[in-house]
Amino acid sequence: MSRRVTEWADWQIALATSLVLRIFWSAIAATLLPFLHPDAALIRSNALTESLPAAHGVGYALLGVWERFDTLWYLRIAQHGYDRPMAVIFYPLYPAAIRAVGAAVPGMAAALLVSTVAAFFAFLGMLRLAEADFNPQWRMWALLAIADWPSSFVLVAGYAEALTLALIVWAVIFARGERWELATVCGILAGLSRPSGVLVAVPLFVLAWRSRRVRSLIVLLAPVGALGYWAWLRWSGRMSVVEAYRVYQGATFAPPWAGFAEAVRLIGHGDAVLAMKLALVAVALGFSLRREVRIEDKLFALAMTLQMFMYTGRPLLGGPRYVLPMYPAFLGMARYAARRWSEKQFGFWLTCFGCMNLAWLWAFLNWSLVF
């Protein structure tokens, strides 16, 4: 890696990475557009597809091609609120941000802008965490690991992963710096962004316990975001998130071992895609649990992994994407690579991840159910 790049300030590296990813994935999606021939039945099997933009023109190539799956729900919630029962699955912070930015730019452009800005803050936070854990010269390796992870293109797509990752990472950074109020605010907002966001309370509680300071007790409020959303759903007479998953996604809440057992059973019946997803989750957890990883980070990664298996019916549907907020995996991966691998070896694995990333993008753009 060029020494000049590694000597840049963190904000410069984060800004360059987020902009490069935004431009790169937009260019790839636009380039693939003539070769996309999704099955009409697959498109109709997804909700909210009755008013998709016409698949032609520059506007579609740059924006419309990203209107897939969850993005359609976030855009609808931003415009109409929770007017459909299934919408409760999608937490409110990201669509609220789209709505705010959408006052100045069209909805899809607002979604991509919010994600790209959130990716900048997520990458900046990852660099700060990496500097604290190992030689600053290798902090880029952690950033490259997460930027190239299979399905990482969603960090700059119309999804809430970048926003969730940014809030989780900065909550931990603020807590380690004993800025408990800011850590709590980030924790509350993380719980409003995605189901996994509330789990940042785990490292915050550990860090607060270790500090032994009364001021740190404020982090006990970190789960309020998610709890408040669930309470609002109940108060407003809407379906719970768990019930919505069961009714509309065919996913039933269950103990983690039940979800894991179902995944293993389906793999045994020849589900190769699920086997790949399970392998990627195992890799992420393995790097997260390495000896040199901090205890609060290990507990967070373990909690995230258990959460991924807490539904039966559609195990690990978004497995690789759900790993993205698991920051300890990429810190552990980078530290291991910095100690054990040459740049060529690390580059080889990045190439493998990149190829898988392209395959996941192809599935996403083609409305494939494997995504």
Per-residue model confidence (pLDDT) at position 2: 53
How deeply is 84 buried, as exposed, middle or buried, from its count of CB atoms within 10 A (0-12, 13-18, 19+)? middle
Per-residue model confidence (pLDDT) at position 252: 94
Q: What is the mean pLDDT of residues 280-309?
A: 96
Distance CA 113, CA 142 (A): 23
Residue 171 has pLDDT above 90, yes or no: yes
Per-residue model confidence (pLDDT) at position 138: 74
Q: What is the mean pLDDT of residues 211-240?
A: 96
Residue 345 has pLDDT above 80, yes or no: yes
- Give residue-wise pLDDT tens across range 112-136: 999 999 999 999 999 999 987 766 6
Residues 6+ apart with CB under 8 A from 44: none
Please report which confidence band the pLDDT of residue 137 belongs to, taking 50, 70 and 90 as the band edges: low
Give, for 51, the enclosing helix (H) or strand (E). none
Question: Which sequence spans correspond to the domains of the chain?
Answer: 3-365
- Give residue-wise pLDDT tens across range 26-59: 999 999 999 988 888 888 878 888 878 877 889 9
- Give residue-wise pLDDT tens across range 139-164: 888 999 999 999 999 999 999 999 99
Q: What is the DSSP letter of 57?
A: S
